[in-house]
Amino acid sequence: MTDFLWGSATAAYQCEGAWHEEGKGLSIWDDYFHSDKCPAHVENGDTASDHYHKFEEDFKMMKEGGQNSYRFSFSWPRIMPDGTGKINPQGVAYYHKMIATMRQYGIEPNVTLYHWDLPLSLHKKGGWENIETAFAFAEYAKFCFHEFGDSVKLWATLNEPFYSLLCMYGSGNYPPNVKDAQRLLHAAYIQMYASALAANEFRKLENIGQLGIVADIHPCYGVDDSEACQFAVQMADHIMNNWVLDTAFKGYFPQQLLDELAKQYDLSFMKEEHRAIFDKGTLDFVGLNYYNRAYIRPYTTGESFVLVNNSGSKNSGIRETGKVKRMMVVKNMFEKIADPNGTFTEWDFEIYPKGIYDAVKMVQKKYGDLPIYITENGIGLHEKLINHTVDDTARISFMQRHIDELPKAKKEGVAVMGYYVWSTFDLYSWINGYDKRYGLVYVDFAHENKRYPKQSYVWYKNFINNWRELYETKYGH
Q: Of 277 and 307, which has the nearer Cβ to ligand NOJ?
A: 307
Decide the pairing of beta strands 441-444 and 324-330. unpaired
- Among 49, 88, 159, 234, interactor with ligand NOJ by CB under 6 A: 159
166: how many CB neighbours lie within 10 A of its CB? 22
CB of 160 to ligand NOJ, least distance (A): 5
CB of 115 to ligand NOJ, least distance (A): 6
Q: Phi and psi (nearest 5°) for 65?
A: -85, 10
Q: Of 130 and 311, which has the nearer Cβ to ligand NOJ?
A: 311
CB of 469 to ligand NOJ, least distance (A): 31
- Bridge partner residues of 212 (DSSP): 156, 285
343: how many CB neighbours lie within 10 A of its CB? 9
Q: Of 16 and 160, which has the nearer Cβ to ligand NOJ?
A: 160
Q: Does residue 344 interact with ligand NOJ by CB under 6 A?
A: no
Binding mask 129-148 for ligand NOJ (x = CB under 6 A): --------------------
Q: Of 329 and 381, which has the nearer Cβ to ligand NOJ?
A: 381
Question: Quick one: DSSP state of residue 194?
Answer: H
Q: Of 159 and 456, which has the nearer Cβ to ligand NOJ?
A: 159
Q: Rounded CA gap, 108 and 373, in Å?
A: 13
- Among 11, 215, 414, 443, interactor with ligand NOJ by CB under 6 A: 11
Tell me, by CB under 6 A, how many residues bind ligand NOJ.
9
CB of 399 to ligand NOJ, least distance (A): 14
Q: Rounded CA gap, 235 and 254, in Å?
A: 10
Q: Does residue 335 interact with ligand NOJ by CB under 6 A?
A: no
CB of 224 to ligand NOJ, least distance (A): 30
CB of 288 to ligand NOJ, least distance (A): 11
CB of 444 to ligand NOJ, least distance (A): 19
Q: Of 69 and 289, which has the nearer Cβ to ligand NOJ?
A: 289
Binding mask 426-465 for ligand NOJ (x = CB under 6 A): ---xx-----------------------------------
- Among 29, 162, 334, 422, interactor with ligand NOJ by CB under 6 A: 422
What phi-psi label fits residue 430: left (phi over 0), alpha (psi between -120 and 50 degrees) or beta?
left
Q: Of 167 and 220, which has the nearer Cβ to ligand NOJ?
A: 167
CB of 461 to ligand NOJ, least distance (A): 22
Q: Rounded CA gap, 96 and 6, in Å?
A: 23
- Among 8, 68, 75, 289, interactor with ligand NOJ by CB under 6 A: 289
Amino acid identity, residue 100?
Answer: A
- Choices 20-28, 32-40, 138-146, 422-430 (CB under 6 A): range interacting with ligand NOJ: 422-430
The three-class DSSP label of residue 156 is strand
Q: Rounded CA gap, 326 and 340, in Å?
A: 11
The three-class DSSP label of residue 8 is strand
Residues 364-403 interacting with ligand NOJ (rule: CB under 6 A): 376
Q: Of 72 and 422, which has the nearer Cβ to ligand NOJ?
A: 422
CB 162 within 8 A of CB 216: yes
What phi-psi label fits residue 119: left (phi over 0), alpha (psi between -120 and 50 degrees) or beta?
beta
CB of 407 to ligand NOJ, least distance (A): 24
Residue 307's closest CA among 277, 270, 348?
A: 348
Q: Does residue 84 interact with ligand NOJ by CB under 6 A?
A: no
Tally DSSP H helices, then E strands, for the chain: 17, 16
Q: Of 159 and 449, which has the nearer Cβ to ligand NOJ?
A: 159
Query: Chain centroid to CA 57: how far?
Result: 24
Q: Does residue 74 interact with ligand NOJ by CB under 6 A?
A: no
Q: Rounded CA gap, 204 and 391, in Å?
A: 49
Amino acid identity, residue 321?
Answer: T
Which sequence positions are flagged as catalytic?
A: 160, 376
Q: Rounded CA gap, 403 and 399, in Å?
A: 6
- Among 58, 117, 129, 160, interactor with ligand NOJ by CB under 6 A: 160
CB 255 within 8 A of CB 320: no
CB 114 within 8 A of CB 75: no
Amino acid identity, residue 113?
Answer: L
CB 102 within 8 A of CB 59: yes
- Bridge partner residues of 22 (DSSP): none
Binding mask 259-288 for ligand NOJ (x = CB under 6 A): ------------------------------
Q: Rounded CA gap, 144 and 392, in Å?
A: 38
Q: Rounded CA gap, 122 and 134, in Å?
A: 10
Q: Which residues bind ligand NOJ (CB under 6 A)?
A: 11, 14, 159-160, 289, 376, 422, 429-430
